[in-house]
Structure 1
């Protein structure tokens, strides 16, 4: 006898809320408000979502999806999953990554949430959503779970200053060595240059062809502004082109609120890229 899928495992307010929070955290909150909460929020929502999703796709699992999810999560957070991830990333359109951290296993304490939903969803009329087809939730849920790991850019846009700048980049028709030489002639000399880590290369094999390097300037004076601890990276592209990422810097002014931080980021990104582009044109 064929077991029917219970659409309300996906069409309930808890599942949809967790999907929304997971997406928001992975693509916005982690980068704008990096702290302990945003670091663990994805694991919490993910461990609630996974058993519900498994039970919907494989209805014969029923409550067994709880311990299956627990075993998978422990494996995923361990070093034993490294080779599987490496193999997957060699062929995947969307590479995945994760950090080995056994301290994350405490989120298994949230497994009673999906347990009670799976067990009682047919009686919990108040949390069920009836007007949506489950396909509209299933596809975004799978995509969100696949994209929960840091994107590849996470590994080459790191910054040790107090002001980070995500998606701050431009492309020039010069190689990295040509950029270094042109800037040197304008008295812009890098204090530190180092390649991307071997660990990142192992996780994302495609990085090898990009010749990714990190660059640091301890100080750069632009007009009346003294910029300190500037961090950026460069990726080699095809046909001798290079993509330059401004990753962030250290500032002294107040950036305690999101509005102040966004204003400072916009200002320094503008003057830094303007100076860099003008120096490369000479």
Structure 2
């Protein structure tokens, strides 16, 4: 099979899609064990496959080196590399968690998939090879961009009674349930490359109305860029906001934008 056609195999394209979806959306929305591990599994599958296509004469070596590199990257031994990159303004980072090494199980499965003969793969005219390579490169880089997490733990007493059923409110605000009445959602600060996790109490009232309480401003996550890392100014900005400022953002992003009255 021609090498350029290998980039159009369905499972590979799905893995790239999942990697981007997880890192750019699911992690921010749910931030749980599953989203934390998903990037490791699909990232290893896509990374090893991608480079084995680029270097088709060294397939076994690519898969072997991918496993060794992943073990090194996920260990504390790689900290000197990260520190070295930071000295040059390259903002890569990772969390040392040895449970991530379970993702190595995907490599032998990925290798079997790579060496299978697939017949009838068709190129997508709207997705030429250079575009796929660019998307893959972005996906691999985005996974390792430096991020900083911080606690805010601010209490709020903002409350609004909305004349909309609770089920509709949950869909409009896009929340993650914690209990029957407690929910988490995010406030977005794109100019600061950040999002802030908040806690809401949402309960049914009579006549299909709903009580919404902004309970707490919990934490923030700020993402760096490739060449500058995480901006201290962006972090300081979030830390210096008052409860009233976050309440205004909540009203603007969740209440007014969704036309909740």
Question: Above 0.5 in TM-score?
Answer: yes
Asked if the contact 1:47/1:108 (under 8 Å) is kept, the reply is: yes
- Look up the match of 2:71: 74
**Which structure carries more strand by proportion?**
2
Out of 73, 83, 86, the residue aligned to residue 86 of structure 1 is 83
Out of 241, 250, 256, the residue aligned to residue 269 of structure 1 is 250
How much has 1:108 moved relative to structure 2? 1.0
- Look up the match of 1:230: 217
RMSD over aligned CA atoms reads 4.2
Asked if the contact 2:19/2:42 (under 8 Å) is kept, the reply is: yes
Out of 112, 124, 130, the residue aligned to residue 123 of structure 2 is 130
Tell me how far apart the structure 2 counterparts of residues 32 and 143 of structure 1 sit (CA, whole Å).
21
Asked if the contact 1:11/1:129 (under 8 Å) is kept, the reply is: yes
> Relative to 1, partners in 2 of residues 1:23 and 1:266: Cα closer, same or farther, differing over 3 Å?
farther
- Look up the match of 1:163: 184
How much has 1:86 moved relative to structure 2? 1.8
**TM-score (structure 1 length as normaliser):** 0.57
> Relative to 1, partners in 2 of residues 1:169 and 1:73: Cα closer, same or farther, differing over 3 Å?
closer
Asked if the contact 1:96/1:147 (under 8 Å) is kept, the reply is: no
**Partner of 1:62: helix, strand, or coil?**
helix
Out of 105, 108, 115, the residue aligned to residue 104 of structure 2 is 108
Asked if the contact 2:45/2:110 (under 8 Å) is kept, the reply is: yes
- Return 46-55 or 226-235, whichever deviates more: 226-235
Asked if the contact 1:169/1:245 (under 8 Å) is kept, the reply is: no
**TM-score (structure 2 length as normaliser):** 0.61
Out of 24, 27, 30, the residue aligned to residue 24 of structure 2 is 27
> Relative to 1, partners in 2 of residues 1:26 and 1:148: Cα closer, same or farther, differing over 3 Å?
same
- Look up the match of 2:135: 140
> Relative to 1, partners in 2 of residues 1:236 and 1:35: Cα closer, same or farther, differing over 3 Å?
closer
- Deviation readout 1:18-65 (Å, 9 max, x if unpaired): 111000101110111222211111001011011112212323312221
How much has 1:165 moved relative to structure 2? 2.5
Tell me how far apart the structure 2 counterparts of residues 236 and 107 of structure 1 sit (CA, whole Å).
32
- Look up the match of 2:53: 56
Asked if the contact 2:52/2:63 (under 8 Å) is kept, the reply is: no
**Partner of 1:99: helix, strand, or coil?**
coil
Q: Which has the larger radius of gyration?
A: 1
Aligned residue pairs total 197
Out of 4, 8, 11, the residue aligned to residue 7 of structure 1 is 4
